[in-house]
Chains A and B, each alone.
Chain A
């Protein structure tokens, strides 16, 4: 379903070459819920951005549903992203001028879905995240947890094959974080594949599959399971940046 082989990402400036990912291999099966952990600067977000085709990779092979991502043009990647991937961001990234209904509508419009179908999906998704009565509200009229639920609704509306979540609870208090996590688990039970980057070990442990990124590579989980993230970071020979 999602297959990365020897993926590398190098950020090049005039004097410095930084390897954000190196020889990164990952296979994801349909319906998995994967938590990605790792120290700051280890390359978690870079991995997620490449998985979501938000930035290009430097080397390796990336297949998404049997499509070779590396061979796609920018517009083709945008189409594929729109059809297959839903994003949930730490900062919610709702568009402030648009009400909840319109925010959820954004990816559907880019996909060219007809108005009646858009309406059906939006109402269904708002119902799912418990905000059906607030469709006309602007994002700033909601709490952080509610905004993140809207972002989840927006990600779900396109009925994506993958949900990519980057620190989805990072800006939330523990109660709201638990609620959002429960929502993601429910979505996963219904069949969606979720890849979630998180610093929160407790949340990570709730995911059926955990992977760790260290120094731009997938780490052997058993090696690190008894160490703190800081300790892992201090062992890194080639510090990577998190972008």
Chain B
């Protein structure tokens, strides 16, 4: 019977092509706008590493004096000082942890074939790769030994490997970063994360960096940060060494904690560490403050999805509701004009339920067609979003779940809009129309 209803629905759409087109267009525009907002929202709020998001923790230490105001909701700085980050980085616990810092270099191969270019880079510990589930096309991460001795080694991503070495196995090859020679030890698979959750302080939606170097190179090579540096008191800093010893916050720190016991142990460790730092007179703070936030908590804490995004999403659904109100009016007109035919069908034995279902199938078909056209409009909208900034390249896209959601939302919305007209028409008293047809 369902196929028969679909056939009847298709004939009905063809019978009134203009009204049908207007309804499909109204749904499509509503769905297109809604799906554009919803897709961006979905990408922004999506768990970027679902298999580990509850095991990776961003570390925050409040090493400011009591009374120092910060812009975070609990007054705790987002980043760490170099000396704290490196102390935690070198600590024995937990098993996997990494300091992290944004930097950048001029990249070249010291030949005429490639013009030097600027590129972002990230300085990290070798644990970063297994912590964030990074796989390699060629080679691997640098060794512990190389990290300990600050060896000039680098891991590059596939895209950079294509640019520098034509996509070949470049392990062992050399690349120049600010005229220092680095040896490629690994080529990492392309990382298309839509949210750069491991460093939300320096562009939450920027693409992951194409180069990764040992964090231990910062001091010997005097590598400057390309990220945000946050100071909270006056310090007379005139040398790079002075900057390393300062109270400026400019590094991020992540720890992998695989059980509640590990979390508690690490909390105890951080508590003890901060108490010790207070006793050393680094800051005037009565109660040590620190945070351990997993990936999802970290994204919420950093307002990755802003209230503006939520308002925009709400408005787009409101727009869809307006479209549906128009469709409801058109459906009412269309269905009630068909009352004489319904009278005949009722006389021939159709139950109210059968008439009701027939009309819901028709509105579902409208929703399905509107949903398909809506996907095309949403793609256009997302393309428009992407053209405004490279930051939206990974965000303004529709993944499979959104592609499936579009017709589902369209069909559901149309069924809601069609309930009243379908209910009205199924209550048709057949006797009224049989004599007058």
Residues of chain A having any CB pair with chain B under 8 Å: 45, 49, 52, 54-55, 74-75, 78-79, 81-83, 87, 89-91, 93, 95, 97, 106-107, 109-112, 154, 158, 166, 243
Contacts and interface: CB of A to CB of B under 8 A. Distances in A.
Contacts of A111: 349
Given A55-B429, A109-B1, A87 B435 contact: no
Contacts of B350: 78, 82, 110
Nearest to B349: A82
Nearest to B429: A55
B349 A78 contact: yes
Contacts of B233: none
B353 A107 contact: no
A156 B288 CA distance: 91
A220 B135 CA distance: 98
Contacts of B354: 78, 110
16 contacts: A52-B347, A55-B429, A75-B351, A81-B347, A81-B349, A82-B348, A91-B435, A91-B437, A93-B340, A93-B344, A93-B347, A97-B12, A109-B1, A110-B350, A112-B1, A158-B349
Identify the interface centre among B346, B354, B432, B434: most chain A CB within 10 Å of its CB. Answer: B434
Interface string B1-44: 10010000001100100000000000000000000000000000
A56 to B, nearest CB: 9
B272 interface: no
Contact of B349 (A74, A97, A110): A110
Given A95-B341, A97-B15, A107 B348 contact: yes
Given A97-B11, A110-B354, A83 B349 contact: yes
A204 to B, nearest CB: 19
Interface residues of B, number: 27
Contacts of B347: 52, 54, 81, 87, 93
A166 B347 CA distance: 13
A107 B349 contact: yes
B345 interface: yes
A79 B431 contact: no
Nearest to B12: A97
A166 B348 contact: no
Interface of B: 1, 4, 11-12, 15, 340-341, 343-354, 429-432, 434-437
Contacts of B344: 93, 95, 106
Nearest to B348: A107
B182 to A, nearest CB: 74
A110 B348 CA distance: 8
B394 to A, nearest CB: 49
Given A95-B341, A97-B11, A110-B354, A54 B434 contact: yes
A109 B434 contact: no
A111 B4 CA distance: 13
A54 B349 contact: no
A78 B12 CA distance: 24
Looking at chain B's contact residues, is the secondary structure mostly helix, strand, loop, or mixed? helix
B348 A154 contact: yes
A62 B218 CA distance: 97
Contact of A87 (B11, B15, B348): B348
A79 B1 contact: no
Nearest to B352: A74
Contacts of B341: 95
Contacts of B349: 78-79, 81-83, 107, 110-111, 158
B348 A106 contact: yes
A140 to B, nearest CB: 13
B345 A106 contact: yes
Contacts of B437: 89, 91, 93
A88 B69 CA distance: 87
Contact of B435 (A74, A81, A106, A243): A243
A78 B342 CA distance: 13
A158 B347 CA distance: 13
A89 B429 contact: no
Contacts of A91: 434-437
Identify the interface centre among A52, A97, A110: most chain B CB within 10 Å of its CB. Answer: A110
Contacts of A97: 11-12, 15
A194 to B, nearest CB: 17
Nearest to A106: B348
A54 B430 CA distance: 6
A78 B350 CA distance: 6
A78 B429 CA distance: 12
Nearest to B1: A109
Contacts of A95: 341, 344-345
A79 B354 CA distance: 11
A12 B15 CA distance: 38
Nearest to B340: A93
A83 B343 CA distance: 17
B351 A74 contact: yes
